[in-house]
Amino acid sequence: MARKFDLVIIGGGPGGYTAALKAAEFGMKAVVIEAKKIGGTCVNRGCIPTKALLHASNMFHMMQNCDEFGVSTDFISFDFAKMQRYKREAVIKYRESVVRNFERLQVETVHGTATLRRDRTVEVELAEGGKEFFQGTHVIIATGALPIMSHIPGANLPGVWDSDRLLAAQNWNFDRLTILGGGVIAVELATIFNNLCAHVTIIEKQKHLMAPMDDIMSIELEKELRRKGIDIYCDATVTEIREEENGLWCTITPNEEGEPVKMRAGQVLMAIGRRPNITRLMGNDVSLKMQNGKIAVSEDFETSEPGVYAIGDVCTKNQLAHVAAAEATYVVEKLAGRNHSIRLKAVPSGMFVSLPIVPNCIYTSPEIATVGITEEGAKQVGLKVRCGHFSMRENGKSIISGTENGFIRLVFEAYSNTIVGAQMMCPRATDMIGEIAMAIANGLTAEQMSFAMRAHPTYNEGIGLAIQDAMHHEPV
């Protein structure tokens, strides 16, 4: 007989654990079913471990270049195993904080593999053996995504890694690393291993890295990565990986004109994207509607099965932890009959354009962060805009820290001067982008944003100066 809950949640990542905690706060009885460890990919194999290694590798990189700051050392080295231990400790601390909140709010956790059955019933093959059934007044699917592995010849060789395995590697064997793919995972891992003096090569099939991003940002990112010594091949595909006496070799084939190039690869990382994790999710008595390989959902994230919802990477375009958490909050508040406390998009007063207010962040050096729409995106929807640009070469904090390669670009609707977008490439961009997301969500104008004083010297001053610059430009 099935145990009954107000909310049964399949998956314990940012979407799943946020839904559970929010439901418990509203007095709902919730259970989370997780096949591996609470925290999902983000906490255990994604965001947190990646940023921990970025932090550690950046410290090593800074120490190698500290002489200009009057700091000298006779010898500097890194211990990759110790870096991994530091990363694991960060992961454990974060995961334990989630578990403590589960205990505080009496959220039940079940470890096992879940299969959705009819009547909002979930069958769980328990990790310790046996089966158990759970029936929810509502069910939320938050099973996330898995790395995609290419099927090109040689993709199954021992030196070919996915991001999950690479982040768990214990021994240093990465003096040369070739990365297939040019998305967020690719450029962040390229940054880590470049910081640790590996010879890194990125091969991307699109014409630019980070293809969905504004071309200006993509080109600036490529310039910065090349300046750091990372080799980049865009508009090209790896068509074969071969194992020879001196290691792995890749054949790089241009998408259009040009002859294939054979290149020594070292270790190879497949970072060509992630696919929804729906393995064993649906039983024979349930058939959820799919769309482009993802679970199809309504505007309220309800699937084709009444009472069953899906959030996060398993159903949405933006595969981001904070998007999954925001969708979880949205769904649970709706189920609990509460007012929504978070927006996923906004239509500013007097406009006809729906603006995305999801911050997109890339933790390279310098950091990259965007929100809203670009100048080009505004033109495509018939919106006249003013753009303000500020170069970080003129920013006091950037001069002090030696991080002057960057900029802040703001986009305002031309007649109301309402903020509609921002693109930043500078230190702390991933922290500062929240200010712009808040401004877009609340329909703030350039004048209203200028009311707030910004401390000196800070990177954040650049926002105020970009606002001033925009107001001196004619609409485009």
User: What is the DSSP secondary-structure string of 152-179?
Assistant: STTTTSTTEEEHHHHHH--S---SEEEE
Identify whether the C-beta of residue 266 lies closer than 8 Å to the C-beta of residue 176: yes
Residue 318 is predicted with a pLDDT of 87
Q: Taking the alpha carbons of 379, 381, 382, 384 in that order, is the dihedral positive or negative?
A: negative
3-class SS of residue 318: coil
Identify whether the C-beta of residue 119 lies closer than 8 Å to the C-beta of residue 138: no
DSSP H/E element including 13: none
Angle at 16 (CA atoms; ends 319, 87), nearest 5 degrees: 70
Q: Which residues contact 95 (CB under 8 A, 6 or more apart)?
A: 37, 38, 39, 43, 44
Count of positions (residues) in the chain: 476
C-alpha 157/C-alpha 170 separation (Å) is 19
Return the closest-CA partner of residue 331 out of 341, 320, 321, 322. Answer: 341
C-alpha 36/C-alpha 112 separation (Å) is 8
Residue 360 is predicted with a pLDDT of 93
The one-letter amino acid code at 282 reads M
Q: What string of pLDDT tens digits covers the 476 residues of the chain? A: 899 999 999 999 999 999 999 999 999 999 999 999 999 999 999 999 999 999 999 999 999 888 888 988 888 899 999 999 999 999 999 999 999 999 999 999 999 999 999 999 999 999 999 999 999 999 999 999 999 999 999 999 999 999 999 999 999 999 999 999 999 999 999 999 999 999 999 999 999 999 878 788 899 999 999 999 999 999 999 999 999 988 899 999 999 888 999 999 999 999 999 999 998 999 999 999 999 999 999 999 999 999 999 999 999 988 999 999 999 999 999 999 999 888 888 887 777 788 889 999 999 999 999 999 999 999 998 999 999 999 999 999 999 998 888 999 999 999 999 999 999 999 999 999 999 999 999 999 999 999 999 999 999 999 999 999 999 888 87
C-alpha 265/C-alpha 48 separation (Å) is 27
CA 445 to chain CA centroid, nearest Å: 28
The one-letter amino acid code at 366 reads P
Please, what's the b/e burial string for 75-111 (b: 16 or more CB within 10 A of its CB; e: otherwise)? eeebebeebbeebeebbeebbeebbeebeeeebebbb
Residue 180 is predicted with a pLDDT of 97
C-alpha 255/C-alpha 239 separation (Å) is 11
Residue 463 is predicted with a pLDDT of 97
Residue 216 is predicted with a pLDDT of 83
Q: Taking the alpha carbons of 46, 47, 52, 55 in that order, is the dihedral positive or negative?
A: positive
CA 215 to chain CA centroid, nearest Å: 19
The two structure tokens encoding residue 420: 């509609």
3-class SS of residue 224: helix
The one-letter amino acid code at 260 reads P
CA distances in angstroms from 275 to 65, 173, 318, 319, 399, listed in the order given: 39, 28, 12, 10, 42
C-alpha 9/C-alpha 107 separation (Å) is 11
First to last CA, the chain: 65
456 catalytic residue (yes or no): yes
CA 433 to chain CA centroid, nearest Å: 14
Q: Which residue has the tokens 């019933």?
A: 121
Identify whether the C-beta of residue 443 lies closer than 8 Å to the C-beta of residue 452: no
The two structure tokens encoding residue 204: 């991307």
Dihedral pair phi/psi, residue 215, rounded to 5°: -55, -40
Identify whether the C-beta of residue 418 lies closer than 8 Å to the C-beta of residue 412: yes
Residue 402 is predicted with a pLDDT of 87
Residue 4 is predicted with a pLDDT of 97
Q: Exposed, middle or buried, 318 (CB in 10 Å: 0-12/13-18/19+)?
A: middle
Q: Which residue has the tokens 């904090």?
A: 397
Residue 343 CB-half CA count within 13 A: 16
Q: Which residues contact 155 (CB under 8 A, 6 or more apart)?
A: 149, 241, 270
Identify whether the C-beta of residue 236 lies closer than 8 Å to the C-beta of residue 205: yes
Return the closest-CA partner of residue 53 out of 185, 180, 229, 178. Answer: 185
Rg of the chain over Cα atoms, rounded to whole angstroms, equals 24
> Which residue among 55, 199, 208, 456 is the active-site one?
456
